[in-house]
Structure 1
């Protein structure tokens, strides 16, 4: 019985510690506004582009580059805010596939022209 409780405790703790987000913000410039946005979070009134995808990386490669183009909603080509989110599901997918597939959740706001 104690082993089951301990296992559930460790699993619950790993769920809580494995979900985090990192936000990087540029101090120079202003974010691109979106007056029609009805968000109630940190990005209220900003034009946010969200990327939620699974990327595939070769086992020999440790580097991956995702290119952001002007057509992707970033007219200025400059970034003001970038947020990377890591979840337990993303860590689990990476562990099961030995790092070959990774779940990526990124939000970014372009800089105002």
Structure 2
């Protein structure tokens, strides 16, 4: 019974510490507005692009670059806010595949085009 209790404590600590979010914001510039957005979170009134994908990395690679393609959502070609989110499921996928596959959740807001 005592071992089960410790196992549950360790698993719950691992779950809580593996979920985090990192947000990077440019202090110069204005985020691209979206007047039709009905979000209630940090991105209220902003045009947000969300990517939820799985990337494949070779075991020998030390870094990875994900290219954000130009599209109509980012007219200025500049990023104002970038958020990277890590979840427990992403950590498990990386552990099971020995780091070859990683689940990535990214939100970004483009900079408002200057006139």
TM-score, normalization by structure 2: 0.95
> 1:66 deviation in Å?
1.2
Counterpart secondary structure, 2:91: helix
Compute the displacement of 1:45 (Å): 0.2
Which residue number corresponds to residue 5 of structure 1? 5
TM-aligned CA deviation for residue 17 of structure 1: 0.8
Secondary structure of the residue aligned to 1:68 is coil
* Aligned match of 2:99: 99
Deviations 1:23-64 (A, max 9, x none): 000000000000000000000000000000000011111221
The list of structure 1 runs, each at least 4 consecutive aligned residues, that deviate by more than 2 angstroms after superposition, is none
Give the corresponding residue for 2:29: 29
Matches within 5 A, 1:43-62: 43-62=43-62
Q: Which runs of 5+ in 2 are unaligned?
A: none
| Partner of residue 68, structure 1 | 68
Q: Gapped runs of 5+ residues in structure 1? A: none
Q: How many residues align?
A: 113
User: Aligned-pair distance for 1:105?
Assistant: 0.4
8 Å CA contact retained: 1:85, 1:106: yes
Partners of 2:21 and 2:39 lie apart in 1 by 18
**In structure 2, what is the Cα distance between the partners aligned to 1:52 and 1:65?**
15
CA distance in 1, matches of 2:94, 2:22: 19
Query: Partner of 2:84 in structure 1?
Result: 84
Equivalence for 2:109: 109
